[in-house]
Amino acid sequence: MATVTEKLEGMDVWLYHGQIYIPNTFSAGAVGSRFLIELRDKKRIMGMRCPTCNRVYVPARSICKDCFEQLDEWVEVSDKGTVLTYATDYETKSIQPTGSPIVYGIIQLDGADTGFVHMLGEVDPEQLRVGMRVQAVFQKEREGSILDIKYFKPLA
């Protein structure tokens, strides 16, 4: 942590510049882990259906937001879907998964009732539009990460 002083009308005042380091290990849980394993091993995008309201959640989750049902009905949804909205970022930072420009999209996959947040690729920013049909492109080397889907590309 660097300590610097800055002048304030004839006296020094102290500012503390620092970076906070907090280790963490986030548990995906059994349901989240199975979702990731299906991506890694079978390139399948899995959702979970609520038996009460019939909604399909993607990514899969274990409890229905509306019904409070404990969910266990796994369903595979399509790797194709529709862009509901998007945003293009030309000033990316190191925390983000790819370089600039990065196009984020909310995609409703065919068979899902929820929006799926991911990136759009192989697309000219000029051609982007809401309602665009897209398809998942998987990484060759997959490790059980949401980024095992490289991005969604426009369907020809």
Partner 1 sequence: MANRVAIVGIGQTYHTSKRDDVNQPEMVAEAVRSALTDAQLSIRDIESVFTGNMETFEGIFLPDHGMAAEIGALGKPGFKVNTGGTTGASAVAEGFYMVSSGLYDISMVIGFEKQDCGDTTAAISAAAVPVWAKGAATGAIGEFAKQALSYMEITGGTEEHAAMVRVKADKGACRNPYAHLKLGLQSIDEVLQSPYLVWPLRLLDFCPQSCGACALILATEKKAKKIHKKPVWLADVEVVHQEPFRAGVFGDPTGKETYTQHVACEKIYKRNNITDVRKQIDMAEIYEPSNWEELNLYEHLHFCKKGESWKLIEKGITEIEGEFPVNPSGGVISTNPIGATPVIRVAEAALQIRGDAGEHQVTRDTKTAIATALGGPNWTVMFLLKRSL
The C-alpha angle 21, 22, 27, rounded to 5 degrees, equals 145
The C-alpha angle 110, 29, 140, rounded to 5 degrees, equals 55
Among candidate residues 115, 99, 109, 104, the one with its CA nearest the CA of residue 134: 109
Binds partner 1 (CB under 8 A): choice among 10, 21, 126, 131: 21
Residue 26 contacts partner 1 per CB under 8 A: yes
Look at the block and give the residue holding tokens 């020094």.
Answer: 12
Residue 68 contacts partner 1 per CB under 8 A: yes
Residue 36 contacts partner 1 per CB under 8 A: no
**Of 13 and 155, which has the nearer Cβ to partner 1?**
13
Residue 144 contacts partner 1 per CB under 8 A: no
Cis bond upstream, residue 101 (ω within 30): yes
**Of 71 and 136, which has the nearer Cβ to Zn ion?**
71
Q: Could you tell me the two tokens for 132?
A: 């665009």
Binds partner 1 (CB under 8 A): choice among 32, 111, 115, 121: 32
Residues from 22 through 61 that contact Zn ion (CB under 5 A): 50, 52-53
- DSSP reduced 3-state for 148: helix
Residue 63 contacts partner 1 per CB under 8 A: yes
Q: Rounded CA gap, 52 and 64, in Å? A: 9
Which does residue 50 touch among Zn ion, partner 1, none (CB within 5 to 8 A, set by kind)?
Zn ion
- DSSP reduced 3-state for 75: strand
Which does residue 112 touch among partner 1, Zn ion, none (CB within 5 to 8 A, set by kind)?
none
Residue 64 contacts Zn ion per CB under 5 A: yes
Among candidate residues 26, 111, 27, 31, the one with its CA nearest the CA of residue 71: 31
Binding residues (CB under 8 A) for partner 1: these are 1, 14, 16, 18, 20-32, 61-66, 68
Question: For binding to Zn ion (CB under 5 A), which residues are involved?
Answer: 50, 52-53, 64, 66-67
